[in-house]
Structures are given as structure tokens and as C-alpha cells.
Amino acid sequence: MKLLLALPLLLLATPAQAEEIGECRFSRETLTFAGSRVEQAECLLRKIELLAVRKPQPLPKVIRHLMEREDGPSAAQKAAALAAFPEPYQTFAEQWADTPLSRTEEGLPALYFVIHDTSTPFYANDPFPKRLNQDLRVNDFAPYMDGTLAREPVAHIFLNRVGQIWAGHDFQEGWRATKLESRVVGPRARGRMVHIETVQPRRFLPGATSRGQTEGPKPGFTKEQYRMLAALYVYASARAGYWLIPAQHNTVDAGIPDAHDDPQNFELKQFAKELEKLVGKPR
């Protein structure tokens, strides 16, 4: 979630073509990235390495299969996702399970499931805690909810390293958590994306002094986080009525100055494995 050195803003436009923003070519007109659903996922799920170096990586078969479908999760898949949630979020999610997702002010429905990391707590030059995944400070939701880090929760969902979930906003509320939404397109884009913050601390890279030059732990995500991330994806897609297009904060903003570098150390294969447990392996 922290800032990187400014990157050039990529704006592609011709007289016959609506303005497109960033490396994945987001249209101001349609509020959609360029290409088919598969092509969008391939661009938005590129591997993010240190200092936000982005590299292509194969789209897992299960994600490709879902992007090619026109339907959404089945009732059984939705029920499996709900059953996976811990309390108290499970009760909260059940209350809103039949409520549609957010819409933009022009009525366009949510389409993108955006994965972030919190980049906090920040340890500067200190080592990460020895029992990082069980550390109370690392897993504490309070700073994200009580105004310590922002006046309001910056995302719909916060997911800590032991798999606990806390809602900053329900998915029906249009929200913004990327520069594309807040600084480039503005209020028109609010409601097109749902945002998941996964707790991952940071520290300076060796010799660095800029918050734009940090590293997270390895592995960056825990098994519990991948499991809950998959359940949240199925649950949100069920409420949408179609499979949302998974994305990452950095790739959404790629090409925009001061783009954040998260999620660091996100393993797409691990996410896909947990997704297969809920939706089955494609034939």
C-alpha cells in the first residue's frame, strides 16, 4: 500500500477512441479495462516483484475457466464460501448475502475484485517479529478502523494473518481504494471495484530510507489468508451474479504516478489452489 517513485502516466487516446488510462488501459467511458475478461485478468494479475516490477505470469486454469463463463457461483459454492468464514464475519456476511454489490453513479455494477496488502505495521530497519503470523500488533484490526491510519476504513474488507476478517464497508457500498478511482477518474469510478486489504507488514529494504523502498515478509500471505481470500472472492461473485475479475492494487494503478506496490509476495497459484477447493477443478 506504500508509495513508489513516480512512474510516467500512460494515456492512450485517438480521436476515434475514448481515453484509456494505464498499462491495462482503463476506459474513462466504459469504466472497464481493455480486452476480454481473460485478457483483463492476465494484465491485472501480473506478478508484482520488489519496487513494483511487473512480470507476466500464466493465468491458473481455474481462473481462466471462470473468466470464460457467463454465469456466477452456484448456490452450493456460495454456501461453501459462507461456511468457510470465521465469526463474527460469517454472521455479518450472511445478513448481506442476498444484497447486490455496489454500482457506480451511472448504474454500472461492480466488476473487479481488487487485492491489496496493508503495508503495515511498518518496522523501519527493525526485523519482523519472530512469531510474525501470531503477533498481536500485526493482526490488530483497530488501527484500520479507529482513525489511526485514515479517517475511514480504506477498503471493504481487512483480512489478517490468522484468517480473521473485519468489514470496513459492506460490498454494497461504492468505495475507492486506488489512485485510478480517487485521483484520475474520480467519483464516477466509485462502485466499480471491491477492495480487500490483506495484513502484511513492511520494513525498509537494506540501505533504503524511502517508504517507497520496502519489503514484506516471505511468504507474504499465510495459508489462512489465501483460504479466506478465495472464500471472499466466491462470496462477492455470488452477490454479483457473475465471476468478478480479480486484480491487484498495483496493476490497477500501473502507469499512474506514485502507484502503490502492493500486494507484495502474492502467489497466484496458492490463491488458485484455494479457489479450486471451493469451486472444483475445471475439466
Q: Which residues contact 85 (CB under 8 A, 6 or more apart)?
A: 93, 165, 228, 231, 235
> Residue 192: which pLDDT band, with cuts at 50, 70 and 90?
very high
| DSSP strand pairing (112-117 vs 193-198) | parallel
Task: Tell me if 147 sits within 8 A of 168, measured CB to CB.
Answer: no
pLDDT at site 18: 64
pTM listed for this prediction: 0.93
Of 159, 253, 164, which Cα lies nearest the Cα of 200? 159
**Is the separation of the CB atoms in 245 and 173 below 8 Å?**
no
Each residue of 203-253: pLDDT tens digit?
999 999 999 999 999 999 999 999 999 999 999 999 999 999 999 999 999
The residue ranking higher by pLDDT, 1 or 163, is: 163
Q: d(Cα 63, Cα 41) in Å, to the nearest integer?
A: 8
State the average pLDDT for the chain: 93
Evaluate if residue 82 carries a pLDDT over 70: yes
In this prediction, what percent of the chain has a pLDDT beyond 90?
A: 92
Contacts 24+ apart (CB under 8 A), 64-72: 64/38, 64/282, 65/282, 66/243, 66/279, 67/36, 67/37, 67/38, 67/40, 67/41, 67/243, 67/245, 68/37, 68/38, 69/243, 70/242, 71/242, 72/237, 72/238, 72/240, 72/241, 72/242, 72/243
Confidence of residue 84 (pLDDT cuts 50, 70, 90): very high
> So what's the pLDDT on residue 9?
38
Q: Let me know the angle formed at the C-alpha of 254 by 244 and 259, rounded to the nearest 5 degrees.
A: 110
Give Cβ neighbours of residue 97 (< 8 Å, ≥ 6 apart).
78, 82, 235, 238, 239
What backbone torsions phi and psi does residue 268 show, to the nearest 5 degrees?
-60, -35
Summarised one tens digit per residue, pLDDT across range 10-34 is: 344 433 346 899 999 999 999 999 9
Q: Sorting pLDDT into bands at 50, 70 and 90, what band is 8?
A: very low
Long-range contacts made by residues 89-95, C-beta under 8 angstroms, separation at least 24?
89/164, 89/165, 89/166, 89/167, 92/167, 92/170, 93/235
Cross-sheet strand order for the sheet of 165-167: 165-167, 157-159, 193-198, 112-117, 245-248
The pLDDT value recorded for residue 4 is 38
What values do phi and psi take at 93, rounded to 5?
A: -65, -40
> Which stretch of 3-12, 83-92, 155-164, 213-222 has the lowest confidence by average pLDDT?
3-12
DSSP 216: -
- The pLDDT tens digits for 255-265 are 999 899 999 99
Instruction: Please name each of the domains of the chain with its CATH number.
Output: 11-279 (3.40.80.10)
Q: Where do runs of H (alpha helix) occur along the chain?
A: 37-44, 61-68, 75-84, 89-95, 136-139, 142-145, 179, 223-240, 249-253, 268-279
Predicted local distance difference test score (pLDDT) of residue 5:
36
Handedness of CA 26, 175, 278, 261 (dihedral sign): positive
List pLDDT tens digits, range 89-117.
Answer: 999 999 999 999 999 999 999 999 999 99
Above 60 in pLDDT, residue 140? yes
pLDDT at residue 7 tops 80: no
